[in-house]
Amino acid sequence: MSRWYLFGLVGAAVLSLAAPTSADAAMPHAPLPNGQVVSGTLQFKPETPDPSAPNARTPVEGAVVEVFGATLSIDGRKVEELGELLGSATSDAEGTFVFEMPAGAGDYAVRLVLETLPAGVGLVDATKQTLPVRLAEGQSKAILFNLAEGDAATAGVPSRGDPWYERMARLAVNGLQFGLIIGMCAIGLSLIYGTTGLVNFAHSEMITLGAVLAWMFNVTFGVPLVLAAVLAMVIGAGAGALIDRGLWRPLRKRNTGLIAMSIVSIGLGLFMQYAILYQFGDRPAKYADYSVQTKSISFGPISLSPKEIIIMVLSALILVAVALGLRYTRLGKAMRAVSDNPDLAASTGIDVDRIITLVWTLGAALVTLGAVFQGVSETVSWTMGQQLLLLVFASVTLGGLGTAFGAMAGSIIVGVAILTVTVWWPSELQTVPALFLMIVILMVRPQGLFGRRERIG
């Protein structure tokens, strides 16, 4: 394959960056008009570059970009369905197009009209002809179309034309990945519930914290992401232990009721969420590494990028390790014993408080890693925990509150289910079937799929 292709546009990848560097660099041209806009620069590196300026890019003038209302996947990363055409914009002599968006938050899609490109110029990835845009209130975004000249450009085949079972298979694999990530986040919640009875509504902020910590190391301090993730895990785990020692343990000692504890967790979550917003800002961001991977590996109709494969393999390995650890190690057995019956566990000589702190530590470490995976596969934002929380709750309830195995199984079921239903169901409303599933399970089997029936009295 020819190496002579380059990205059409510098800049803000799919979503604009919170990093001080990129968003400005993406807009070297005239200042933006007031209000919310979607904009970008269409340019490509010529097949035979000018030797004096090997990195120079040729702007594409007169190419048309159409903007649609759209239904996006829950993460805003995929266009599930195009809505009505809102209008179009044409690129100027510098390749720049600007389209003023309706005010307020919304989901849109931007489509490049391939026929308006100069001959020989096309998209690097034909499936990226239509890009998703999720705007928050007052937000503007830069759009990147990967253009190239010659061999590197392929003709566009719209993915919606695939037979439903192929899309279903693709979605199932994406769902598996999503489910594994949810699983990483769910184990902590479930074990904490099992050992302390606390429904921790601040769990969502543990997710956000983990992803943001890794982002801080990775982007602000320039640490490679793998190392940043490890650092974030250490700090996240420490934070978990600290929160348990500093807050929950004293409350348990005072015999604080469970409703009161849940309310404290709501307060903690609210505080953490806005503290993160204060520090991190409201713009979603990408990690510096692994954000854009153009190569993909195909398995029949399913093509996966290397990072997706790595995320799935790693999280599956970790979940299996946790499951084995819970079943066969002393510590794991102690955790399950406390989860089963704290009083009984205490009477057999287990230091219940220590186990609970360890559960918090382990749970927080797993959440952090899950959050980093989520950040890699999508974006890091101050609301990512809140967006995941409902699905984590649904998974944990589905599998049986308090059981780690249930949490894992529930997560994978929820992940696969909510993505595969988007074949027929609008992805904006992805959480609806998950909640529905949860309620049905609660009605027919309140202890969850894998929980045990409770004893009364």
Closest contact distance (angstroms) between CB of 434 and other proteins is 8
Which one of 196, 315, 361, 397 is in contact with other proteins (CB under 8 A)?
397
Whichever of 257 and 306 has its CB closer to other proteins, that residue is 257
Determine, following the binding rule CB under 8 A, whether residue 246 of this chain makes contact with other proteins.
Answer: no
Task: Return the sign of the alpha-carbon dihedral for residues 184, 190, 194, 197.
Answer: positive
Q: What are phi and psi of 16, to 5 degrees?
A: -70, 155
Determine, following the binding rule CB under 8 A, whether residue 401 of this chain makes contact with other proteins.
Answer: yes
Distance CA 434, CA 139 (A): 29
Is residue 363 within 8 Å of 244, Cβ to Cβ? no
Determine, following the binding rule CB under 8 A, whether residue 277 of this chain makes contact with other proteins.
Answer: yes
Determine, following the binding rule CB under 8 A, whether residue 435 of this chain makes contact with other proteins.
Answer: yes
Determine, following the binding rule CB under 8 A, whether residue 275 of this chain makes contact with other proteins.
Answer: yes
Determine, following the binding rule CB under 8 A, whether residue 271 of this chain makes contact with other proteins.
Answer: yes
Closest contact distance (angstroms) between CB of 91 and other proteins is 27
Structure tokens at 455: 């004893």
Contact code string over 60-99 relative to other proteins, x by CB under 8 A: ---------x-x-----------x----------------
Determine, following the binding rule CB under 8 A, whether residue 242 of this chain makes contact with other proteins.
Answer: no
Determine, following the binding rule CB under 8 A, whether residue 320 of this chain makes contact with other proteins.
Answer: no
Determine, following the binding rule CB under 8 A, whether residue 299 of this chain makes contact with other proteins.
Answer: no
Whichever of 29 and 452 has its CB closer to other proteins, that residue is 452
Residue 236: CA atoms inside 13 Å, Cβ hemisphere, count? 35
Distance CA 205, CA 406 (A): 22
Per CB under 8 A, contacts with other proteins among 119-158 are: 137
Distance CA 248, CA 298 (A): 48
Determine, following the binding rule CB under 8 A, whether residue 251 of this chain makes contact with other proteins.
Answer: yes
Determine, following the binding rule CB under 8 A, whether residue 344 of this chain makes contact with other proteins.
Answer: no
Determine, following the binding rule CB under 8 A, whether residue 260 of this chain makes contact with other proteins.
Answer: yes
Contact code string over 349-388 relative to other proteins, x by CB under 8 A: -------------------------------------x--
Whichever of 236 and 451 has its CB closer to other proteins, that residue is 451
Determine, following the binding rule CB under 8 A, whether residue 453 of this chain makes contact with other proteins.
Answer: yes
Whichever of 28 and 257 has its CB closer to other proteins, that residue is 257
Determine, following the binding rule CB under 8 A, whether residue 221 of this chain makes contact with other proteins.
Answer: no
Closest contact distance (angstroms) between CB of 419 and other proteins is 16
Tokens 């998703």 belong to which residue?
132
Determine, following the binding rule CB under 8 A, whether residue 270 of this chain makes contact with other proteins.
Answer: yes
Q: Which stretch binds other proteins (CB under 8 A): 35-43, 316-324, 373-381, 389-397?
A: 389-397
Which one of 191, 225, 394, 417 is in contact with other proteins (CB under 8 A)?
394
Contact code string over 176-205 relative to other proteins, x by CB under 8 A: -----------------x-----x-x----
Count of residues of this chain found to bind other proteins when the rule CB under 8 A is applied? 56
| HEC sequence for the chain | CCCCCCCCCCCCCCCCCCCCCHHHHHCCCCCCCCCCEEEEECEECCCCCCCCCCCCCEECCCCEEEEEEEEECCCCCCEEEEEEEEEEEECCCCCEEEEECCCCCEEEEEEECHHHCCCCEEECCHHHCEEEEEECCCCCEECCCCEEEHHHCECCCCHHHCCHHHHHHHHHHHHHHHHHHHHHHHHHHHHHHHHHCCCCCCHHHHHHHHHHHHHHHHHHCCCCHHHHHHHHHHHHHHHHHHHHHHHHHHHHHCCCCHHHHHHHHHHHHHHHHHHHHHHHCCCCECCCCCCCCCCCEEECCEEECHHHHHHHHHHHHHHHHHHHHHHHCHHHHHHHHHHHCHHHHHHCCCCHHHHHHHHHHHHHHHHHHHHHHHHHHCCECCCHHHHHHHHHHHHHHHHCCCCHHHHHHHHHHHHHHHHHHHHCCCHHHCHHHHHHHHHHHHHHCCCCCCCCCCCCC
Closest contact distance (angstroms) between CB of 166 and other proteins is 25
Closest contact distance (angstroms) between CB of 179 and other proteins is 18
Which one of 263, 297, 313, 320 is in contact with other proteins (CB under 8 A)?
263
Whichever of 20 and 257 has its CB closer to other proteins, that residue is 257
Residues forming the site for other proteins (CB under 8 A): 69, 71, 83, 102, 104-107, 137, 193, 199, 201, 251, 255-260, 262-264, 266-275, 277-278, 386, 390, 393-394, 397, 401, 426, 428-429, 431-432, 435, 438-439, 442-443, 446, 452-453, 455-457
